[in-house]
Structure 1
């Protein structure tokens, strides 16, 4: 038995060993987790987090699955165009299908409290997708547009903390416990506002303790194409001090304008999606997490600028993790921190509480710390008790927001908005750092071929080497693309000191300064977005081609090698870009476009499109990376991006989607045809017969075919498409 077969057999054996059998020895399926927990109900009834008359409704919602929620990326120029396609076609078709569906409609509507109708809720289940083609197309839309970064699938209540933080493009933002990164993505969108580029003075630092989860944050930066984004890897409660250089070149302590503390919690607000919480829930979870939550909040406030704002949030309903943490912090801050109102008028919620009752694991409740037995005094601490009725009004806990599941068919969440009115009592007065207090210069080992070394706490990251004017790459790239003289070459960086440079990244001046001042004290995982990638072809006039990831940042500075493409030519290029015989030839384009393209030297260029989405849709300005071959013009983009732009053109994208409804129709038609002709033999795979296979029994991908057909035409091979499961 081979190694793989043996491993598969062992896994199957272990799985069968855990399964139950009935009297006849027939294996049964696992029983679903029972969504009941008597301690949970007893505890929260005691805390009175929900009015008694609403309790049954809340518990009913907690035991049902969450609806699907997502938001359209507001910082993209085509956000309104995508919203138009969604509403006029996909949502409309799904709603019409629901009217004739005996099992009811999908209840699609915009979230009433999310700005500009960019947040949506849809009750779409896997069962729905299997039985209705309109629902299936909507599901495909959500998957492909998530990959392109044009939408983000995110739980509704998880969208609230970034909105409450009121981020503006000039703000320096710290997300202390960021992974997996859905809230981080919102913060990045707010930094860019409706503009994309490197001129923004704000940026987002996303931090997480888990090194592996930090790379989930890196993926968010790639999806959102942001040059104003930094990923760091630290314990949030001990995040290092950071410094900045002022206009006179002096080092000073750096403080953030906005801080998000979405702290680790017991997660009982997520019971609708994380059903394991039902059987694992205990009051001890909140008691043990309180200390961690307090220290993360405290560190967040220490890193916050005076006058700045901080959001403290949890996906827990427990006041020990919510109001008790705030109460402890407000007492220690001695008036230097205050709670603020959260301005989301259409959000249904309950106000924060000024009274709660700490309990031990066995649900014994105590009115004050003096009642706590000695054996429990290390678990139930004095700072977990509520303020006295006389002191409670001065804390203004009513400004906090607790979202209960039944109020808007969501998960449970707690959000508080704080401001720092002056330095905390234990903070020193801000002064200029002395030279001896400045971080020491970087010491780096000589490097051979780039290779990451596994260490405790993650890999040793490659250095960040910013470009200088005397770098020979810079004038070569600048002249080829006609880059504006106002573009500072020091905004570009690479991730290696030695060896051949594969990729060049672009970032903002503010991010560059943060990295250069703090790379010795802060463990930085990722910075910026890829702007240029090496084109390893001897006949290529420029060694580096443009990257679609960094084009929104670089495009405003590119003055040459640009082609204005009308809508019909864009559609022609996109629809023919995966032809198995040839790349999109210039003869497919209009005469006017050919005259613009033909004089341009081979290589990478920018395709500009002013796209009107249907007759009544919005106008959006697009920029795509293209490639000019000898007789061809290609859009140098990923498959999901191609589908996205074809949608905006109003083209049929069914050829890019696996549609089992049409496959079933075709199979039935083929079966009927075989019966008519009396031939029951399956048809030969003509692609494989004619040598179009890729050597492993499957038909070659468009990228493999491009590789085989384009070398004669002089067109660079597109980067391989990353296929990910949904």
Structure 2
């Protein structure tokens, strides 16, 4: 989200503008709002005896959380590092301070952690400083996701399998999308999932934030598109008989735009601008997005609806409205057994609808005419006699005081039969039917206004010309049979005939191909059939990179990002099994000017590279765990020079591999505590040795 413009006070009585009002620092914000207190006490969102705990919690700072990502073997190794080398040191700190570090009890396999650390804690302790650096570097590599606790819940409730087609309707900035991709690849016995993730967002600029987040997972089974989710077009796919059929998704996530008052702990400025009217402007948009999600999910499929709002008008009212219109085609799923240790409250089956002056109405008939443009009949709760029918108590309300988190709402819906005529369908239009010319110029909060304008357009029956704006995308050009560069690549890397080269693509129509990307067959089919009807922002992972070198027989080297996807198809000629000490040596000596000489490496490596021609290669390290479990295998992109061997990895990847191998990463991490000791006591022996070696080289 872009930085907001400073608020300017308007001139009064014909006078001059009074100038800019500076934004308050978060620590200076008074966390009080009388209307907020009165409104939510009236709504009874929590028990009376818990109200003080709720208010105290929501006024406190939000603890930081992170989640360990990656394959099961890598995740286990990272968990060992977190628990053994980082957390253990922090827990043994003797200095004072109100800090706590613990795994989230409800998240599977202890892969998510919550820590209460302030900047002061990080400054005063080397152990905390190491943990902080760990989170930064591993986040850059994609093995850690610094994600808010409650944000982790919706993807878990989707229950994703490797064959599922998943739609994330409002995906930016992308932390949930990344989690979905990770779950799609969760089955380690499946080399390449047959399912895929389509991640959509209405804001063109925020789509690039989404790409940045998702690309860290290095998945060929993901595509990012840019469209208004409430009117998302029907995408088509190959039906296997030479024709096409509509794509129906197995799982849909509707993490919709909302007023966001559940994020008060991390966005305290909401205290100053919160009003009861915020929710009224969101309800219609949220209902339309959820309705479209239900239309796009297959029978038997699951839709997860979530908001970071406390307001029942944005939560239970939306769910009730959809259930009432679906006439039994959709039902709420009881998910209490899925995350049994997650503390939460059940959904409400009764709430009040009010205007901005806190005048509450029990039924729509009580609403004055002047308020009927913003207060709609579907916002009201079900009648007493109908409450059992909807099972709104199956919704999940997470309140800040229950387990020290932000506030959140989640509902899981299952489509049990096709939608009947009784449910008004969303007006699905062709991609050029609705104008989003302003969409790319607005922040996330403003995007809702644009969606409401679209709602008004449909209400009047107008059809506006939609223009694709924002950044102009390069084309997606897939390989065809007999592609010239492919024959050289295939021969050089001894790639199996089982590999479908038509899943490779470039982003240029002419000239030299610099980067070659790989997608799964299902994603390729999706792009080819739909790139004229919806704006694709990104798909594929970089797999081959042009590297013109006079000593290389093939003009393309292997990129680290696509290595795990392509390696099952590559022959053994350019694969090198490397022991731990040699791999650490190569990672530590990553300078292209002075790479390690082959003769200095182990005899095992020397024998393998003896007949290997110069060029790109794959370094493979295998670590048996001694427990009979699947071994940890690391694939590292390498380069065989005429007399040398080196790794071809980015800095975050280099640090990540060294961390797993227990190599020395001090040269990549600035340790200010060690620096302070050296300034006081002089450089240590190891530091002097490093300095001497550097000078001699």
TM over 0.5: yes
**2:103 maps to 1:103:** no
**2:58 maps to 1:45:** no
Cα offset for 1:536? 2.5
Cα offset for 1:460? 2.5
More divergent stretch after superposition (156-165 vs 609-618): 609-618
SS at match of 2:360: coil
Matching residue within 547, 550, 565 for 2:562: 550
Cα offset for 1:64? 1.2
Contact 1:90 1:138 in 2 (8 A): yes
> For the residues of structure 1 that align with 2:580 and 2:354, how far apart are their CA atoms?
65
Instruction: State how 1:375-386 maps to structure 2 within 5 Å.
Output: 375-386=370-381
Matching residue within 499, 502, 508 for 2:511: 499
2:331 is aligned to: 338
1:408 is aligned to: 403
Instruction: State how 1:499-578 maps to structure 2 within 5 Å.
Output: 499-559=511-571, 560-578=573-591
> For the residues of structure 2 that align with 1:671 and 1:301, how far apart are their CA atoms?
65
Cα offset for 1:612? 5.2
**2:135 maps to 1:122:** no
Contact 2:544 2:556 in 1 (8 A): yes
For structure 2, list consecutive stretches of 5 or more residues without a partner in the other structure: 1-18, 424-428, 433-466, 685-690
Instruction: State how 1:253-264 maps to structure 2 within 5 Å.
Output: 253-264=246-257
Measured at CA, do residues 542 and 344 of structure 1 come closer, stay the same or move farther in structure 2, by a change above 3 Å?
same
> For the residues of structure 1 that align with 2:600 and 2:678, how far apart are their CA atoms?
30
1:469 is aligned to: 481
> For the residues of structure 2 that align with 1:254 and 1:599, how far apart are their CA atoms?
50
SS at match of 2:385: coil
Measured at CA, do residues 426 and 634 of structure 1 come closer, stay the same or move farther in structure 2, by a change above 3 Å?
farther
Matching residue within 337, 345, 348 for 2:343: 348
More divergent stretch after superposition (163-172 vs 594-603): 594-603
> For the residues of structure 1 that align with 2:22 and 2:415, how far apart are their CA atoms?
56
Cα offset for 1:598? 2.5
SS at match of 1:604: strand
Cα offset for 1:123? 1.2
> For the residues of structure 2 that align with 1:335 and 1:131, how far apart are their CA atoms?
59
**2:141 maps to 1:148:** yes
Matching residue within 244, 261, 271 for 1:268: 261
String of CA shifts for 1:561-606, please: whole Å, max 9, x gaps: 0000011111111112248x61122133111211111321001000
Contact 1:614 1:650 in 2 (8 A): no
2:74 is aligned to: 78
Cα offset for 1:521? 0.8
1:171 is aligned to: 164
RMSD: 2.8
1:717 is aligned to: none
Contact 1:251 1:438 in 2 (8 A): no
Contact 1:58 1:406 in 2 (8 A): yes
Cα offset for 1:530? 0.5
1:633 is aligned to: 645
2:200 is aligned to: 207
Contact 1:319 1:356 in 2 (8 A): yes
Contact 2:198 2:223 in 1 (8 A): yes
Instruction: State how 1:361-376 maps to structure 2 within 5 Å.
Output: 361-376=356-371
Measured at CA, do residues 34 and 254 of structure 1 come closer, stay the same or move farther in structure 2, by a change above 3 Å?
same
Matching residue within 193, 212, 215 for 1:222: 215
String of CA shifts for 1:599-649, please: whole Å, max 9, x gaps: 210010001101358999994111110000111111100111111111111
SS at match of 1:316: coil
Measured at CA, do residues 258 and 523 of structure 1 come closer, stay the same or move farther in structure 2, by a change above 3 Å?
same
Matching residue within 12, 28, 32 for 2:28: 32
SS at match of 1:654: coil
> For the residues of structure 1 that align with 2:174 and 2:266, how far apart are their CA atoms?
18
> For the residues of structure 2 that align with 1:304 and 1:424, how far apart are their CA atoms?
11
> For the residues of structure 2 that align with 1:616 and 1:276, how far apart are their CA atoms?
53
Give the paired residue count: 633
SS at match of 2:37: helix
**2:382 maps to 1:387:** yes
> For the residues of structure 2 that align with 1:311 and 1:30, how far apart are their CA atoms?
33
Measured at CA, do residues 558 and 29 of structure 1 come closer, stay the same or move farther in structure 2, by a change above 3 Å?
closer
Measured at CA, do residues 643 and 427 of structure 1 come closer, stay the same or move farther in structure 2, by a change above 3 Å?
farther
Contact 2:327 2:422 in 1 (8 A): no
> For the residues of structure 2 that align with 1:268 and 1:569, how far apart are their CA atoms?
53
Contact 2:430 2:533 in 1 (8 A): no
> For the residues of structure 1 that align with 2:214 and 2:430, how far apart are their CA atoms?
30
Measured at CA, do residues 477 and 49 of structure 1 come closer, stay the same or move farther in structure 2, by a change above 3 Å?
same
Measured at CA, do residues 126 and 294 of structure 1 come closer, stay the same or move farther in structure 2, by a change above 3 Å?
same
**2:106 maps to 1:94:** no
Q: TM-score, normalised by structure 1?
A: 0.83
For structure 1, list consecutive stretches of 5 or more residues without a partner in the other structure: 1-15, 21-27, 429-436, 441-454, 673-685, 693-708, 710-726
> For the residues of structure 1 that align with 2:70 and 2:80, how far apart are their CA atoms?
13
Contact 1:205 1:230 in 2 (8 A): yes
String of CA shifts for 1:384-414, please: whole Å, max 9, x gaps: 1101110111000011000000101000000
SS at match of 1:122: strand
> For the residues of structure 2 that align with 1:178 and 1:95, how far apart are their CA atoms?
36
Contact 1:336 1:424 in 2 (8 A): yes
Matching residue within 136, 144, 157 for 2:150: 157
SS at match of 1:88: helix
> For the residues of structure 2 that align with 1:615 and 1:273, how far apart are their CA atoms?
43
> For the residues of structure 1 that align with 2:362 and 2:355, how far apart are their CA atoms?
12
**2:669 maps to 1:657:** yes
SS at match of 1:302: helix
Contact 1:81 1:619 in 2 (8 A): no
String of CA shifts for 1:203-225, please: whole Å, max 9, x gaps: 00000001111111211232000
2:298 is aligned to: 305
Measured at CA, do residues 476 and 88 of structure 1 come closer, stay the same or move farther in structure 2, by a change above 3 Å?
same
1:66 is aligned to: 62
Measured at CA, do residues 605 and 197 of structure 1 come closer, stay the same or move farther in structure 2, by a change above 3 Å?
farther
Contact 1:492 1:504 in 2 (8 A): yes
Cα offset for 1:375? 1.0
> For the residues of structure 1 that align with 2:473 and 2:675, how far apart are their CA atoms?
47
Cα offset for 1:666? 1.6
**2:617 maps to 1:623:** no
Cα offset for 1:339? 0.5
SS at match of 1:275: coil
Contact 2:589 2:595 in 1 (8 A): yes
1:323 is aligned to: 316
SS at match of 2:317: helix
Contact 1:19 1:29 in 2 (8 A): no
Contact 1:614 1:649 in 2 (8 A): no
